[in-house]
Amino acid sequence: MSRRVAILISGGGSNMVALAESMTGDHPARPVLVLSNDPAAGGLEKARAMGIPTAAVDHKPFGRDRAAFEAALNAELEKAAPDIICLAGFMRILTPGFISKWQGRMLNIHPSLLPRYKGLNTHARAIEAGDAEAGCTVHEVTAELDDGPILGQARVPIEPGDTPETLAARVLPMEHRLYPAVLRRFAEGDRTPVMLP
Ligand code: GAR
């Protein structure tokens, strides 16, 4: 029985595409839902084109009522009954109450070498700090933001003259290699971190 994977996105969904494309052949998992908090997210159209069921729960009508938004999100997830949830560029902060429902089954990709640069503007902060390298991390989601056991990391050099945009363009292809590698291992029940390159 293949493991059921739901992928949560907010934008273009390039990591979602990399994950979905990896789940073929003898892969132990299959995508069962792509879910977005933004009905206009470009990734939803890409998922539909790949034949993956999609749903959107717009966070805006919920205003500051995070609990109600998360209840609606959770209802969509429960319908899809995923074994594993991959946050892939999902840009809403989730509360501990929501996370506890899926803890141990939810992964996130973050564009920094955690524990450095939790939160936003990671590449700008790495350049500003004069770091020699940057990268991305896949970790298990726990109640603390961008925390939780690290399941994989990929590193790239920061070059002289890098801007947040040029650095992001170097990190993103590594995200597309790292996340599928971690998901495959995780779906096989192996939490040994994947270290790239
Ligand atoms: C990716 O770089 C991902 O690491 C980042 O958003 C981008 C989404 O791109 N995630 C975060 O910043 C999470 N805090 P994508 O929609 O093309 O996958």
Q: Is 110 a catalytic residue?
A: yes
Angle at 72 between CA 67 and CA 77, to 5 degrees: 115
In a domain, 150, yes or no: yes
| Gyration radius of the chain over CA positions | 16
Q: What amino acid is encoded at 146 in this protein? A: D
Number of domains in the chain: 1
* CATH number of residue 56's parent domain: 3.40.50.170
Q: Is residue 194 domain-resident? A: no
Q: Residue 103, class by beta-carbon neighbours within 10 Å (0-12 exposed, 13-18 middle, 19+ buried)?
A: middle
What pTM does this model have? 0.98
Report whether 64 contacts 42 (CB < 8 A): no
- Cα of 62 vs centre of ligand 1, distance in Å, is 23
Indicate which residue's Cα is closest to atom 8 of ligand 1. Answer: 89
Which tokens is 128 given?
């500003």
Whether the per-residue pLDDT at 130 is higher than 90: the answer is yes
Query: Does 109 score more than 90 pLDDT?
Result: yes
For residue 4, the CA-to-ligand 1 centroid distance in Å is 22
CA torsion through residues 109, 115, 117, 122, sign: negative
Round the average pLDDT of the chain to a whole number and report it: 98
Q: Is residue 178 one of the residues assigned to a domain?
A: yes
C-beta of 12 in contact with ligand 1 (< 6 A): yes
Determine whether the shortest distance from the Cβ of 53 to ligand 1 is under 6 A: no
Q: Is residue 138 part of a domain?
A: yes
Asked whether residue 195 is domain-assigned, the answer is no
As a whole number of angstroms, the distance between CA 165 and CA 45 comes to 25
Segment 84-104 shows an average pLDDT of 97
In a domain, 196, yes or no: no
Nearest CA to ligand 1 atom 17: 14
CA 189 – ligand 1 centroid, Å: 25
| Contact criterion met (CB below 8 Å) for 6 and 35 | yes
Average pLDDT score over residue span 83-88: 99
Query: What is the structure's pLDDT at 28?
Result: 98
Residue 197 maps to a domain: no
The residue annotated as part of the active site, out of 59, 110, 123, 176, is 110
The percent of residues above 90 in pLDDT, for the chain, comes to: 99
- What's the 137 CA to ligand 1 centre distance in angstroms? 11
Calculate the alpha carbon distances from 160 to 7, 112, 164 in Å.
35, 18, 12
Domain span at residue 95 reads 3-189
Residue 1 clears pLDDT 90, i.e. is over it: no
Tell me whether strands 150-157 and 133-140 are parallel, antiparallel or unpaired.
antiparallel
CB of 14 shorter than 6 A to ligand 1: yes
Mean pLDDT of 175-185: 99
